[in-house]
Amino acid sequence: MEYRNLGRSGLEVSIVGIGCNNFGRRMDYAATEAVVGMAVDVGINFFDTADSYGGEGRSEQFLGRALKGKRHEIVVATKFASPMGEGPMRSGASRRYILQAVEDSLRRLDTDYIDLYQVHFPDPKTPLEETVRTLDDLVTSGKVRYVGNSNFAGWQIATAAKIAEHEHLEPFVTAQNQYSLLDRRIEQEVVPACEAFGLGILPYFPLASGLLTGKYHRGQPAPEGTRLAAWPMGERMLTDQNFNVVEKLDEFAQRHERSILDLAIGWLASKSSIGSVIAGATKIEQVEANAKAAAWRLSAEEMAEVDALTKR
């Protein structure tokens, strides 16, 4: 397993991380414990959750319980800002809310510190300086080690970096955004902003909700029990336009005696700006496959060919 520093920080994480959004939702505790155990066995040390995952904080609760005895070996990332109930006091990135949210997450995770604390979504109702200053206070207090953002636009990443620099506050070290061979929108502004200000990128949905796993085929319904069979977004993803790209990528992967899943994760891992590829897993076999896929490093020529196949 390869380990990389997150942005310009000294925090080292495995090139493949575990996305914990299914813990407590599609997975009970026994399944969660099995996935966490296998991840640790194959060298994965980065687990990404959020207070809103699993409903009522169950993902954090399950993760904290599964990490008993392993916490010192693990980098735990969680998030705040998503609604945790009704009303203006149960979401956002204000000082008042953050100070409550971090205590709630620490309790659910059963830990006294969070390695990476991330703003889940931008909060247009709160000045960004208030958010950055509050997160700096949490780092100073020792409750949080590093801070990051999620779903920020490029200009928001730049603004936060300038606030931190001017006010001598703790800067964001990561940006977590949707990024895959089928969704390369962040290359327009987010990736350049991260490279300019030294943030590591944490791609989520790297397998395009499963479309880059080889499970789905043109003209056939989504297999029962899969994410795209259950989610309303399935019809939006299973389009001829997407399959035109998927089929070309599958042919490329086969020429290299690899799977399309190997290509999806290996392509991201081949980019120096990527800190860790966050891939969800509901079975131990998926953990093993994701970890193996991260070993593929595409050459410059191969990257150029994939670029040509996927740019829209």
Token output for 309:
């196949």
Q: Is 53 a catalytic residue?
A: yes
Residue type, 50: A
Burial profile 28-61: b = 16 or more Cβ within 10 angstroms, e = fewer: eeebbbbbbebbbebebbbbbbbbbbbeebbbbb
Token output for 259:
């799977």
Active-site hit among 3, 29, 53, 113:
53
Task: State the DSSP string of 82-101.
Answer: S-SSSSGGGSSS-HHHHHHH
d(CA 102, CA 118): 11
Three-class DSSP category at 134: helix
Hey, how many other C-beta atoms are within 10 angstroms of the C-beta on 176? Answer: 28
Q: Which residue matches tokens 């593929």? A: 296
d(CA 14, CA 43): 7
Of 73, 151, 165, 161, give the one whose Cα is nearest residue 111. Answer: 73
Question: Which are the catalytic amino acids?
Answer: 53
